[in-house]
Amino acid sequence: NAGVTQTPEFQVLKTGQSMTLQCAQDMNHEYMSWYRQDPGMGLRLIHYSVGAGITDQGEVPNGYNVSRSTTEDFPLRLLSAAPSQTSVYFCASSYDDTSYEQYFGPGTRLTVT
Amino acid sequence: GENVEQHPSTLSVQEGDSAVIKCTYSDSASNYFPWYKQELGKGPQLIIDIRSNVGEKKDQRIAVTLNKTAKHFSLHITETQPEDSAVYFCAATYSSASKIIFGSGTRLSIRP
């Protein structure tokens, strides 16, 4: 199993550009989530999904969209990038929403200039 | 809502010594407390967890203690080794993965 994979590893965007961060898992997990990690602030939940076709907002959803058309994939879209979205983004998955052990991907390091 | 405070933010210990990282939480309903280790350039990885019906849990050189009355829990690493150098995050939740709140992290450095 590859576990949780994320692409790209690094990305530089200009203010106003849009892009999609890809996340996939091959563990047949129902629950998937996106976090951003900023210095001194831990991990903050952006959006999550408890299954295909179901998504919901986390703590910091503004400026991001998600969709979950399949169990495996959970892309994160930045609609119009802003410097405040410079961060490291992690995708995570777990068996379901009540299974607390989450498996994290390697992260995408995004810089918005 | 839940709030998790983690201390210290940085910690440097001599190889072979012990390291202790402490967290406090605000929601008395929290019942699951995981600890994650994040190595440089990688995603966090669960290393140990404890549930509210247990006071202490050990796994080789790593242990976690929980004081429900005081609402704090701690990670203890004994006989530290160079590979223990990483950022450690505590977290707490009471109901679901989507409700997990993470602490701000502790950067642990092991001095040779």
Q: Mind listing the pLDDT tens digit for each residue in A68-107? A: 999 999 999 999 999 999 999 999 999 988 888 899 999 9
Q: Which residues of chain B make contact with A43, given a CB cutoff of 8 A?
A: 44, 89, 102
Name residues whose C-beta falls within 8 Å of residue B3's C-beta, 6 or more positions apart in sequence.
B25, B26, B27, B101
Q: Quickly state the pLDDT bin for B19 (edges 50, 70, 90).
A: very high
Would you call A40 an interface residue with chain B, using a CB distance cutoff of 8 Å?
yes
B90 with B102: CB under 8 angstroms?
yes
What are the structure tokens assigned to B101, written together? 């709140």
**What pLDDT is recorded for position A27?**
96
Strand-strand pairing, B62-67 and B56-59:
antiparallel
Helix (H) or strand (E) holding B12: strand B10-14
A98 touches chain B (CB under 8 A): yes
Residue A2 pLDDT > 90: no
In 3-state terms, what secondary structure has residue B64? strand
Which residues 47-86 on chain A approach chain B with CB closer than 8 angstroms?
48, 50, 56, 58
Look at residue A65 in the predicted model and tell me its pLDDT.
97
Peptide bond into B82 cis (omega under 30): no
Closest by CA to A111, choosing from A17, A2, A40, A1, is A17
* Nearest chain A residue (CA) to B103: A42
Name the 3-class secondary structure at A69. Answer: coil
Judging by beta carbons within 10 Å of its beta carbon (0-12, 13-18, 19+), is residue B81 exposed, middle or buried?
A: exposed
d(CA B33, CA B91): 6
Please list every residue in chain B whose beta carbon sits closer than 8 Å to the beta carbon of residue A44. Answer: 102
Q: Which residues of B touch A106 (CB under 8 A)?
A: 41-43
- The pLDDT, as a whole number, for residue A43 is 94
Give the pLDDT score at A84.
96
Q: What is the pLDDT of residue A1?
A: 76
Please name the member of B36, B97, B102 whose beta carbon is closest to the beta carbon of A94: B97
What percentage of chain A carries pLDDT values higher than 90? 89
Give strand pairing partners of A36. A44, A89
- CA–CA dist A65, A108 (Å, integer): 16
Q: Is the pLDDT score of B1 beyond 80? A: no
Distance CA B84, CA B18 (A): 11
The residue ranking higher by pLDDT, A45 or B96, is: A45
- Residue A61 predicted with pLDDT over 80: yes
pLDDT tens by residue, B56-110:
999 999 999 999 999 999 999 999 999 999 999 999 998 788 889 999 999 999 9
Per-residue pLDDT tens digits for B20-60: 999 999 988 899 999 999 999 999 999 999 998 889 999 99
Q: Among B55, B68, B59, which Cα is nearest to B94's?
A: B68
Q: What is the pLDDT of residue B52?
A: 86
Q: Round the average pLDDT of chain A to a whole number and report it.
A: 95
Go through chain A and tell me how many residues it has: 113
- Sorting pLDDT into bands at 50, 70 and 90, what band is A41? confident
